[in-house]
Each structure stands twice: as structure tokens, then as C-alpha cells.
């Protein structure tokens, strides 16, 4: 039986590498830049506090359960119904605009350069993070 998943409401901020200026993979702690290989220490105390104190509804009985940790994903057990579920990391999306038709697109940012095809006008364009 597969454990139900609940997405976290909080995510670490998007930060750039101090060495090359490219976007780092999302997370906290020691993060390795995929573009230049530099190790960067990422910390953000407001996010750590929010993740630790985050409360989510148990998918089994709808009672509020506190995460108690800044780690994601984390397996949680509801004290009220003894149900278990996974609190997963929040998937951050950013909104970009197509340079041809100005349609708004929501994508998950990844370090480096990507070529996208606009679903509205089907024109290709590049984005860099």
C-alpha cells in the first residue's frame, strides 16, 4: 500500500552560486553547483523555522499534524488515527513570459540553460537560471 503524500507549504528560497552566479539546486545546507561544481552553504533561518513549525492536515482524519523537522520528505504519523503519510518538498514554479506571444508559462526552474517551446504559439525560446 502506498503512503499518501502531502506537499509542504514552504520551500527554501532560490539562490545563486557565489562562484559563477548560476542558480543552485533548491535546498538548504551544503549545495553543489551543477554548473561549476562549487560547494555553497545555503541557510535561511525563517525557512527552517517555518518548515519545523509547519502543520498539515492528516489525509486520513483531517487532524492537524506538526512536522517538527526541517527535512523534506519526511514520514509522519498522526497521533489521532495512527495513520502514516509523507510530507514532501514543495515544488517551486516560476512564471515566465513567451517573448513572441507574451503568454505566461509556469515552469520549475533548473540550473543552466533550457530551450522551451511555447504551447500557445509553438515558437522555441531559451531561458537561463
Please write the tens of the pLDDT for every residue from 94-124: 999 999 999 999 999 989 899 999 999 999 9
Question: What's the domain range around 49?
Answer: 5-88
Q: How far apart are CA 67 and CA 47, in angstroms?
A: 13
As beta bridge partners, residue 29 has 42
- Number of domains the chain contains: 2
Residues 69 and 31 in one domain: yes
Reply yes or no on whether the pLDDT at 1 is more than 80: no
Q: Are 53 and 65 in contact (CB under 8 A)?
A: no
pTM of the full predicted structure? 0.78
Please write the tens of the pLDDT for every residue from 18-66: 999 999 999 999 999 999 999 999 999 999 999 999 999 999 999 999 9
Residues 78 and 121 in one domain: no
Residues 61 and 106 in one domain: no
Mean pLDDT, residues 59-88: 95
Amino acid at each position: 500500500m502506498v503512503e499518501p503524500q502531502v506537499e509542504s507549504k514552504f520551500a527554501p528560497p532560490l539562490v545563486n552560486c557565489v562562484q559563477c552566479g548560476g542558480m543552485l539546486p533548491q535546498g538548504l545546507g551544503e549545495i553543489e553547483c551543477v554548473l561549476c561544481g562549487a560547494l555553497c552553504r545555503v541557510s535561511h533561518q525563517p525557512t527552517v523555522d517555518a518548515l519545523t513549525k509547519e502543520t498539515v492536515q492528516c489525509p486520513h482524519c483531517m487532524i492537524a499534524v506538526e512536522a517538527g523537522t526541517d527535512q523534506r520528505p519526511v514520514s509522519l504519523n498522526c497521533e489521532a488515527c495512527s495513520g502514516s503519510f509523507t510530507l514532501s518538498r514543495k515544488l517551486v514554479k516560476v512564471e515566465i513570459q513567451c517573448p513572441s506571444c507574451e503568454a505566461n508559462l509556469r515552469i520549475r526552474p533548473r540550473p543552466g540553460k533550457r530551450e522551451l517551446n511555447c504551447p500557445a504559439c509553438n515558437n522555441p525560446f531559451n531561458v537561463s537560471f
